[in-house]
Amino acid sequence: TTRPAVLQLLPFPFPDAAERLAKHYELIELWKAADADATIAARQDDIAVLVTSATTPTPAQLIDRLPKLQAICSMGVGYDAIDVRHAQQRGIQVSNTPDVLNDCVADLAFGLLLATARKLGHAERYVRANQWGSEAVFPLGVKVSHKKMGIVGLGRIGMAIARRASGFDMEVRYHNRRARTDVDLGYEASLTDLASWADFLVVATVGGDSTRNLVNREVLQALGAKGIIINIARGSVIDEEALVSTLVSGELGGAGLDVYVDEPNVPDALKTLDNVVILPHIASATTETRKAMADLVFDNVDAYATTGKVITPIPAIA
Ligand code: 8YV
């Protein structure tokens, strides 16, 4: 009899991860297959576990090609690329990798804030272009310490960002669908009011349909010509067309972005603006954190193989 198989959709940065998988399952590394469709068709009845990631499309159409699928284990905390509701309706467990990446994502939120407010990217280009010492005086940035930070989505990553803000003597308020009862931070029921109050607005929500275009033109205009928006969540949370036009028009002061609507495609207008810092979705991309994420993926697979339950299940989606 063939061993139950794990269908792994993407290469992981750590070779030992694959060895760990092989302990319980036959490993099918889909990206190595000459014909991915044929590989899935040939092994569909053996595949018990699917290993994917927060940014690897895992739609219902793929899930339903695997009639014996019992668990989907994803690398990453976000799950908007996975049809979790459909999987759960089929009784398939879905796991992600929460918490292990909170520090790095929150660190990068501050890296983006400092880089945008103090114009670090622009300054680097200024020096590399031998402009220092020329008539082109480098422009002043804005102070970060003691300013007002609005956090959109005060979850585990949002709380890590709030802790860092206290180290910068910043005042923090937040917007969620509902106020939290376990934090002593100010709550704004209106996102527009939060944006009007804040000097800096940091987007830390989940992605997907529930938050699509949550930060719209009105919110961006309320943040205003001296305001800066930081996005370490998902590009879909901000109306990207409104973001570009308010940055170009000067209605919005600046943006520090790690995520975009159609990655890896970044709107060209953003690449020409000196009041914008643009990064290639690297918030969790450190050796330590990606290793911890990969380990947690395979801990989930191991746990499923030995107990029938994943360790970090995504909560049931109604
Ligand atoms: C990575 C992420 O892009 O965790 C997430 O939701 O977006 C990032 O950590 C993802 O994990 C792919 O490896």
User: How confident is the model over 134-153, as a mean pLDDT?
Assistant: 96
Answer for the pair 6, 28: CB distance below 8 angstroms, yes or no: yes
231 compared with 318, residue with greater pLDDT: 231
Instruction: Kindly report the pTM of this predicted structure.
Output: 0.96
Using one digit for the tens of pLDDT, what is the confidence trace for 76-94? 999 999 999 999 999 999 9
Q: Is 77 in the pocket of ligand 1 (CB under 6 A)?
A: yes
CA pair distance 34, 286, nearest whole angstrom: 31
Q: Which residues contact 218 (CB under 8 A, 6 or more apart)?
A: 192
Distance in Å, CA 76 to ligand 1 centroid: 4
Distance in Å, CA 143 to ligand 1 centroid: 30
Per-residue pLDDT at 302 exceeds 70: yes
With a cut of 0.90, is the ipTM above it? yes
Angle at 100 between CA 97 and CA 102, to 5 degrees: 105
Nearest-CA residue for atom 4 of ligand 1: 76
CA pair distance 5, 73, nearest whole angstrom: 13
Q: Which atom of ligand 1 is nearest to the CA of 97?
A: 4
Per-residue pLDDT at 12 exceeds 90: no
pLDDT for res 14: 77
Q: Is 261 in the pocket of ligand 1 (CB under 6 A)?
A: no
Q: Is 150 in the pocket of ligand 1 (CB under 6 A)?
A: no
User: How confident is the model over 37-58, as a mean pLDDT?
Assistant: 96
Q: Is 205 in the pocket of ligand 1 (CB under 6 A)?
A: no
Mutation choice for ligand 1 from 75, 82, 99, 314, CB with most ligand atoms inside 8 A:
75
Q: Is 242 in the pocket of ligand 1 (CB under 6 A)?
A: no
Place 19 in a pLDDT band, splitting at 50, 70 and 90: confident
Per-residue pLDDT at 18 exceeds 90: no
User: How confident is the model over 269-279, as a mean pLDDT?
Assistant: 97
Nearest-CA residue for atom 2 of ligand 1: 76
Per-residue pLDDT at 1 exceeds 60: no
Residues annotated catalytic, as ranges: 234, 263, 281
pLDDT for res 168: 98
Using one digit for the tens of pLDDT, what is the confidence trace for 163-174? 999 999 999 999
Angle at 214 between CA 240 and CA 317, to 5 degrees: 120
User: How confident is the model over 217-239, as a mean pLDDT?
Assistant: 98
> Which ranges of the chain does DSSP label H, i.e. alpha helix?
15-22, 36-43, 60-63, 84-89, 102-117, 120-128, 156-167, 191-197, 217-223, 240-249, 268-271, 287-307
Per-residue pLDDT at 13 exceeds 80: no
Distance in Å, CA 259 to ligand 1 centroid: 10
306 compared with 145, residue with greater pLDDT: 145
Q: Chain centroid to CA 276: how far?
A: 19
pLDDT for res 204: 98
Distance in Å, CA 298 to ligand 1 centroid: 16
pLDDT for res 2: 65
